[in-house]
Structure 1
């Protein structure tokens, strides 16, 4: 029953050790334990708000969000417990919203007939002109679930976020998706406390593909956590191999040239998250990073730590999210000049 920092430290340590833990203990027991930890933090938050201690109450609910996210990661997608834990996340989020913490449910106008629902969380430094990031949930989650996971990471950071659901934009044809995301960027650029020259995009899971397409389409994007064009590249390579039976015969120079086709058109720094639940394979991402380093393209690679359990691969989302938003903050700083070289080694977090 510590503060947010110790709660997240404990969650990260547990996820790092999960492979050995799950082999020795029934995973359902850990689901119950982390759900109970979340319940206890919620209760602490409720008691603190009754005392008028709003900041302590919010910290309790943020601790609960982290605990509930650990529980959700341990449950199969079709398990009834997953829906139950998701409801707990929604309730904790509603408590934080009702405490005037700054989270807003906003409507982003796309045209005369359509609008997009999103969550808006202003920077933790209202006195500064802040950068902003459009965050797109994975195909398996709603925008609300992504917000619940990210909120403990975002508190106190000098960055504003607009969180949207994958389903709300991905069901459109490609040009319409980019148009809707451009409307989100327009919305952020019009806010008085946002620096319109420092707006990035983050696509979680398969939404990394949407983030790449958007960054290629709208040159106002200043940083992108995306797939680097690798998803479309993998489909193209598979199609060529199936039609011509020659994919394995292409020389590495030709493969590298084709792999770089999309990323060369990207006008902003990129971070590619590979492996685990990502849309990008680790092997292809490493090849792309090497190609980008040789071509002096600002692309970095991050590989989350994962544990293999009976429920599948479980990613350490705590360190992953901290690394992603640390990278975004760094790239969206006003004084940071674009770097010419990607790091020699992928960042493993």
Structure 2
């Protein structure tokens, strides 16, 4: 196992991530409790630090691509380290700070690819976000609005997604859950629509091929957004199941019974009610650190198939240890991005050609 960890240093990003995924798949076999995880945390943190040093050396030599690749390897290592420890502890804060530094390193050497932007919003101050460009002004790309998990920053999600998104044909606008989550009805959807407005006028984005991806509790925000704004072309969300999960206990409370028998036809109709409002293909991520129960997701998928609604289901690969579960985010993120690429991929006319046609 130790050799599997240390062989990442010096390899390319693809091989480093394959090795990291293999480590996550076998960590349960090697888990020795808190002490064992602390040891692995220290090793993955050192791997990240060593990759940073390697990247900085490459930068001094003018090898920008090699420097960027080393920093992306470091971000993957730090994300693994972050999952091996208590998310609320000081060690997690230390790793999060390293992730922030890695993003700034990458941004400083790839100014044309990664930007810090502000989304104009009429109801409040501008919304801060990161924008990762995949296309060019002559050949606009598809794009995805990515919303971080609750209690995680946009930088944390970006640090996890950067290594898997580099080289793909999808651009990304990454925002924080805390910046777009509001109790006022319709406020979150309005803020996310401003994000879509921003992407729609960028010359490097095809406005007809924009999707949304909500991580964790943000999957519920993504569902409501997709149901309210039909400009979206794909959505990775909860399919309305979080809302349904809150309704069922309410029914029991109102009827003063905890074992209320609900007609299954009514249940199926309620499960698909939200999905009928969503006009784009949907991927529901069930299980793992998400908010969607696998059993309910399977029922929703069956209902949607019967109603001819385009819904796919993904279940993250989870590694169980004595006192926690760790998801193989490398495999899961790859599957989600591949699904988004497939659903958002279609031939479009470059905007430069559209301008020429309009000029004639």
TM superposition score normalised by structure 2? 0.90
Shift in Å, 1:79: 2.0
Shift in Å, 1:250: 1.8
Aligned to 1:40: 50
- Distance in 1 (CA, whole Å) between partners of 2:80 and 2:127 is 29
- Distance in 2 (CA, whole Å) between partners of 1:233 and 1:42 is 45
Aligned to 1:17: 26
Distance 1:145-1:128 versus aligned 2 partners, 3 A rule: same
Question: What secondary structure, in the 3-state scheme, does the structure 2 residue paired with 1:131 have?
Answer: strand
- Distance in 1 (CA, whole Å) between partners of 2:124 and 2:220 is 27
Preserved CA contact (<8 Å) 1:276 1:304: yes
Distance 1:21-1:140 versus aligned 2 partners, 3 A rule: farther
Question: What secondary structure, in the 3-state scheme, does the structure 1 residue paired with 2:216 have?
Answer: coil
- The structure 2 residue matched to 1:301, chosen from 313, 328, 332, is 313
Question: What secondary structure, in the 3-state scheme, does the structure 2 residue paired with 1:314 have?
Answer: strand
- Distance in 2 (CA, whole Å) between partners of 1:126 and 1:8 is 31
Shift in Å, 1:247: 5.6
Aligned to 1:347: none
- Distance in 2 (CA, whole Å) between partners of 1:105 and 1:172 is 26
Shift in Å, 1:161: 0.7
Q: Which is further off, 288-297 or 208-217?
A: 288-297
TM superposition score normalised by structure 1? 0.93
Question: What secondary structure, in the 3-state scheme, does the structure 1 residue paired with 2:233 have?
Answer: strand
Find the structure with the greater CA-based Rg. 2
Aligned to 1:57: 67
- Distance in 2 (CA, whole Å) between partners of 1:6 and 1:46 is 20
Aligned to 2:357: none
- Distance in 2 (CA, whole Å) between partners of 1:294 and 1:112 is 41
Q: Which is further off, 308-317 or 133-142?
A: 308-317
- Distance in 2 (CA, whole Å) between partners of 1:143 and 1:261 is 31
Distance 1:31-1:250 versus aligned 2 partners, 3 A rule: same
- The structure 1 residue matched to 2:156, chosen from 145, 156, 162, is 145
Shift in Å, 1:64: 0.2
Q: Alignment RMSD, CA only? A: 1.7
Shift in Å, 1:205: 0.3
- The structure 2 residue matched to 1:213, chosen from 217, 224, 243, is 224
- Distance in 1 (CA, whole Å) between partners of 2:29 and 2:88 is 24
- Distance in 2 (CA, whole Å) between partners of 1:200 and 1:322 is 16
Question: How many matched pairs?
Answer: 336
Shift in Å, 1:313: 1.4
Preserved CA contact (<8 Å) 1:270 1:298: yes
Aligned to 2:6: none
- The structure 1 residue matched to 2:172, chosen from 136, 158, 161, is 161
- Distance in 2 (CA, whole Å) between partners of 1:80 and 1:114 is 31
Question: What secondary structure, in the 3-state scheme, does the structure 2 residue paired with 1:107 have?
Answer: strand
Shift in Å, 1:218: 0.6
Aligned to 2:358: none
Preserved CA contact (<8 Å) 1:76 1:311: no
- Structure 1 segments of 4+ aligned residues over 6 angstroms from their partners: none
- Distance in 2 (CA, whole Å) between partners of 1:291 and 1:46 is 53
Preserved CA contact (<8 Å) 1:125 1:158: no
- The structure 1 residue matched to 2:110, chosen from 86, 100, 108, is 100
